[in-house]
Amino acid sequence: MFKLNPYKIGFRTIKTAVAMTLGVIICKLLGLDNYASSAILVVLCIKHTKIHSVQAISSCLVSCLLILFLGSAIFNLLGQHALVLGLIVLLFIPLTVVLNVQERVITSCVILLHVFNAKAINGHLILNEIMLLAVGLGIAFAMNLMMPSLDKKLNQFKTDIEHQITDVFNVFSQACALQKEHLDIKFDALLLNIRKVKSLAFRDVKNHFIRNENSYYHYFDMREKQVELLKRVTYLLERIATHDPILKNISQLMSEISNNVKGFKVNENDKVTQIAKASALALGLKGDTCIAGGGSDGSIMNQYGIPSVVLGVGYENIHTTSERVSTKDLYMLANQLLKIIELVTE
């Protein structure tokens, strides 16, 4: 049965429509031949991230310039015939594969057909095609610089996932308190949510030319690993003896954990972060920041409005029976704490 899919006009659709219109208007005002073709260049280079846009535009430029000069040379040599057109395409496509710009073959063929239909292949034609490329690709680049922020969506996913994980711990707590043998927890929906948002976070990375990582992505990757651990906990709880006296304590523990699922994020420019970094740098350490999983007292203090960061102290095999830390690192931690006190009291 024929079915219409629901569709909402998004920001990318609006950008494409505006960019195509601008491309045609500008090229017509410049008096360029085949000015309507600028719309094709624009629409094929509007992408969903800035990095993909630059990649598309650069490969399009290389591909189009290659076909422009290759086509002009061969048409001048052999004539503007259909068989020659086929020969050029036969040579051109393998070249694009070698140069890794094969995705722009369709765009390049537009330029090739301009050369094929031209009354004369000369400097005016070459300049006309280069101007078409400059306008079309320039507008596409400008439009792709305008990308909507994904922070709102990412934060909403973050909140939803934290609520879902909180619900899991509440189920654990109730199961232990009521001595249930079967836990009805749907992990598949939670994991699907996490994978969706990881894809969104990765897309956000591609909207930055310098930054090659995303704190959200690391955060959701951490949550995905935690959910895998929760699945193992579920398996163990379903097999624990219902008369075991420790169940009451486990129930209380799970209840406490459910109240502390929410993560915290301290910005690089926050005073507490700057003090921690300054103390590390003063001792010859790197002072790098990172996203980490697991619970800490920092989570609780931040929830109560006390800005806090967690200092890395060089643990090895953390949370295992072979956990350890070197005395050298402990001394370094003590020196860092003294340095923090000095910085705060200055």
* pLDDT < 70 positions in the chain: 1-8, 207-214, 241-242, 291-295, 319
* Alpha carbon separation from 162 to 169, 213, 259 (Å, rounded): 11, 22, 10
Six token digits for residue 346: 């200055």
3-state class (DSSP) for residue 295: coil
Q: Which residues contact 227 (CB under 8 A, 6 or more apart)?
A: 165, 187, 190, 191, 194
Q: What pLDDT digit, counting tens, does each position of 94-136 carry?
A: 888 888 888 888 888 888 999 999 888 898 999 999 999 999 8
pLDDT at 131: 92
- pLDDT computed for residue 218 by the predictor: 80
Q: What is the pLDDT of residue 341?
A: 93
pLDDT for 320:
75
Q: What is the pLDDT of residue 241?
A: 67
Report how far apart the first and last C-alpha atoms of the chain are (Å, whole number): 75
Return the DSSP state at 270: S
pLDDT digits 0-9 by tens, 60-90: 888 989 999 999 999 999 998 999 999 999 9
Instruction: Please give the model's pTM, rounded to 2 decimal places.
Output: 0.61
Exposure string over 113-140, b if 16+ CB within 10 A, otherwise e: ebbbebeebeeebeebbebbbebbbbbb
List the structure tokens of 243. 């008369």
